[in-house]
Amino acid sequence: MPSGSPQSGAGRVIGGRYLLLNRLGAGAMGHVWLAHDRRLACEVALKEIVFRDPVEATEERAARVARARAEARHAAGLRGHPHVVTVHDVLEHEGLPWIVMEYVAGALDLRDLVLRRGPLAPAECARIGLAVLDALTAGHERGVMHRDVKPANILLAPDRTGTPYVRVLLTDYGISVQPDTGETRYTLTSALVGTPGYLAPERATGGPPTPAADLFSLGCTLYFAVEGCGPFERDTHLAEVTAVVLEEPRPPERAGALEPLLDVILAKDPALRISAAGAAAALAAIVAPQSPPRPGVDLGSQPSWERSEARTETSHRTAADGFGPASGRGNRGGAPTAAESAAGTPAHSGPPVPPSASYGRDVLGGPAAPGFGPPLTLRERHPRRSQVLRALAACGLGLVLALGGVWYATAHRPDDGSAKPYGDAIALARPLRDGDCVVADWPGDPFQGGTPRLSVAPGCAEKSPDGQVMAVVTNASADEAHTRGPTECEQRTQEVRERLADVRSFAVVPTPAGFEAAGRRTACLVLGAHGPVYGPLGDHRRPGMTFVDTANMQKRDCLDAPSLRLARLVSCTGSHDQQVLGFTRLSPDITLTEAKSLSDAACARDVPPREYGYDPSRYEAASWTGNGAWTSGTHLVVCTVRRQNGGTMGVDEP
């Protein structure tokens, strides 16, 4: 056994809190364990740092522990970021450092995925790169460099629906959550330099870590993902480092739309390397190519009353607000062009044409503006009273028709969605508020690219709501809402989503025209992934609430269960009958009636209370089944723990 390495095995409790369940893997840096946090009743990953050399154990122990603490402190500053594996804590147990991290179930790193399935498509590489870049930028803004971006440090995990490889997570800010892959690492005075073949040239020659160096490593990673090999891959590590410094990357063969970005992100000179913002824009364009912008409406093609109205509206807005037409409305205001403004010439010279002029010609068929028609005779200059009356009547009729035309054009003008905060697809007339429950009417399969039509369910009781607004995020502009809103919503809803069995995040982003009407805010929804949630979620629930289905039961909920068919939410600080530990899924061929007799055994097998610190001689597994899980086809069961004698549980439980 290596010196300084204590006995390790399932069943040990580390730091008086973390129960080791099974070993996930081992490498040169140590062992990685799946563990149960007995205090928070959740699974975590524990990395055990071991010393394989007695001399190293004596001389390097203090430096190794200090370095682990510093790295964990940096990584913990990114806690909650949707694309960073969270580091919770660093502790010492029997003289060795242990690192406590988020456990990512079902994850596969990018290196293994490419080795198993072959190179990825450019658009998929761009999606992954965009997520990793977002994580790196968040660290750079805090002054934290990753220093070891590579395929093995990018995890691809299933989302809440079980779809594989959807979540993208960056690991190892000097601390790998995965077992070491065997790739050599170089250290200079206890500072991690990186992995051969993925180092930036300036780092390989001893330069300091910088954001530009992380970008170079990201470029190497994207090259590997799309080509199936690294840009500087050689037979030996020394040859790889030499190639990074002195040689150009191999010309890519499969990169397609990604090739121009790879060319500028792998520049040897960091001053010539593309910036993070430029790389983000390039990746986003590959993920979601933008259609050409619609040309502005030609002012001359509009009816004369719209031209006059638009010029007046635009001039008022420009004078009051100091800017041109509102974003997203097009150039219907007829504002002067930049050249016209510079020259001091209005877009149209002369007075605006009155509405009656247009309709006098188009509707009545005769001249309606002065200066048209033959010269008036002497008799016509002195008309009789009847002629005057007829002329007045004609003018009145023309005015009525003109006003009618204005009304018709206004009433039947195509709706641009400006009255709706989120546009015509969402169709809400008012902005969503924190706590609003909603019903979502999807045009096709939920979350498959379409936009749902939303309606608010008052009191979270009507129509079995599909989800709830869990947060609202204020944005500086409509563009910021579009680019940052979904990511911010992922962050703001992460905690509640992790405690539910089958939900997803959905950002309701205001349209440019409805940005102000939305209160300049993006609404962050949590929606059932395959069906309704049947009631409020998270902190919007109140003690004493009766569950009508299992869909909104959460991990660590404490329940009062006076009968087998009734469960109420109660505070865990008082007495309760059961506590929710997790979820399991039954076979698709099991009916709901059969599930009610089989679910307890399934929970005892898949979510055993002993793994959460409960003494098996005093506690037993219990379960709840709901109609919603069978209607949606998920067959999810809520697993709980209870006392074997049927007694109540209290605050002294594990």
Residue 167: how many other CB atoms lie within 10 Å? 19
Give dist(CA 335, CA 299) in Å, integer. Answer: 10
Q: Which of 134, 148, 466, 557 is catalytic?
A: 148
User: Residue 165: which region, alpha, beta or left (left: phi > 0; alpha: psi -120 to 50)?
Assistant: left
Output the known binding site: 47
The strands making up 154-157's β-sheet, listed across from edge to edge, are 108-109, 154-157, 167-170
Q: DSSP state, 361?
A: H
Q: Which of 84, 104, 231, 210 is nearest to 157 (CA)?
A: 104
Q: Is 235 a catalytic site residue? A: no
* Order of all β-strands in the sheet with 18-27: 13-14, 18-27, 30-37, 42-49, 96-102, 87-93
Q: Annotated binding site for ATP, which residues? A: 47
DSSP label at residue 89:
E
In whole angstroms, what is the distance from residue 267 CA to residue 274 CA? Answer: 8
What gap in Å lies between CA 112 and CA 129, rounded to an integer?
Answer: 16
Whole-number Cα distances in Å, 312 to 165, 336, 411, 463? 54, 12, 19, 46
Residue for token pair 């002497």: 378
Using only the alpha carbons of the chain, give its radius of gyration: 33
Q: What is the SS3 string spanning 334-357?
A: CCCCHHHHHHCCCCCCCCCCCHHH
Angle formed at CA 400 by CA 399 and CA 404, multiple of 5 degrees:
115
Q: Alpha-carbon distance 529 to 126, whole Å?
A: 25
Q: State the catalytic residues.
A: 148
